[in-house]
Amino acid sequence: MHKIVNKKRIIIFILVTAIFIVVVFVTGLNKYFAKHSLNQIKTKTVNKSDLIDDRMETNKNQESKPPEVTEYQNQAYHYNLKFPNSWYMNNDYSESKFTPIDTGFGITLQGGGQTFWSNYQDINKYDPQNKPQDFRLLSLIIYRDSSPTVDIFAQKIGAKNFAESQAIQAVNISGQEYIGGGLNEKNPRITAIFKKDALFYVFKPAFINGDGNAADIMEGIVKSFTVK
């Protein structure tokens, strides 16, 4: 009887030991697979993150790339400026001589050198009543006048009556920018004036229509202005 009991105890011990070994092995195996699965997930996450970072860096480089520009040099009035290649320039009268111009304020001034920039190529096809909704325009007229300051000259073309004025800096010359109410808040009246000796360079953006990108382009053209 004692031998039988001992055999039973041995069998039970062997079974318990075997179960314990199996449990330990399975637990270790599960931990192993769990650990390696997490590593795979981490690896995939890192790789995906690296890919996103690479894309963001590529987009950043593309966004930071400056737009291609054309530099215009005016020989008659001795100035340079730049405008993006996505815009068009009409320089048919850019070097025209001074002729009398009625300012509309009871004053006639000597003006010339009219130049225009637009996001549309043939600006002569359009007028204020017949133009595309996204039509934008920047003009430059040069005046010859004896006014000693920009402010005094601005009175002659009505710009001094605008609600606000602020300094504006181009490449090698500073000027004054006048801002007033237009037909609506999306189209304020803006005039930027630079003075060099007896010449006044007058820039006027038109038909902005709340287009911030176009406003930035026109401002960039004005600020690229260089007087020789």
Question: 110 and 87 in one domain?
Answer: yes
Question: 89 and 157 in one domain?
Answer: yes
Residue that finishes a domain, picked among 13, 30, 65: 65
- pLDDT tens for the 228 residues of the chain, in order: 333 344 444 444 444 444 444 444 444 434 444 343 333 333 333 443 443 455 455 455 555 566 799 999 999 999 999 999 999 999 999 999 999 999 888 899 999 999 999 999 999 999 888 999 999 999 999 999 999 999 999 999 999 888 899 999 999 999 999 999 887 889 999 999 999 999 999 999 999 999 999 999 999 999 999 999
CATH code where residue 118 lies:
3.40.1000.10
Beta pairing, strands 88-93 & 99-102: unpaired
Question: 169 and 81 in one domain?
Answer: yes
**DSSP conformation letters of 175-192:** EEEEEE--SSTTS-EEEE
pLDDT value of position 142: 98
Number of separate domains in the chain: 2
Question: 59 and 77 in one domain?
Answer: no
Question: 137 and 46 in one domain?
Answer: no
Q: Is 49 exposed, middle or buried (0-12, 13-18, 19+ CB in 10 A)?
A: exposed
Structural domain boundaries enclosing 3: 1-65
Question: 159 and 87 in one domain?
Answer: yes
Q: What is the pTM of this model?
A: 0.71
Q: Which two tokens stand for residue 132?
A: 């595309």
Question: 131 and 22 in one domain?
Answer: no
Q: Is residue 74 within 8 Å of residue 94, measured between CB atoms?
A: yes
Question: 49 and 119 in one domain?
Answer: no
pLDDT value of position 32: 41
CA distance readout (Å), 82 to 89, 94, 114, 171, 223: 10, 15, 16, 11, 9
β-bridge mates for residue 194, sequence order: 175, 201
Distance CA 226, CA 149 (A): 19
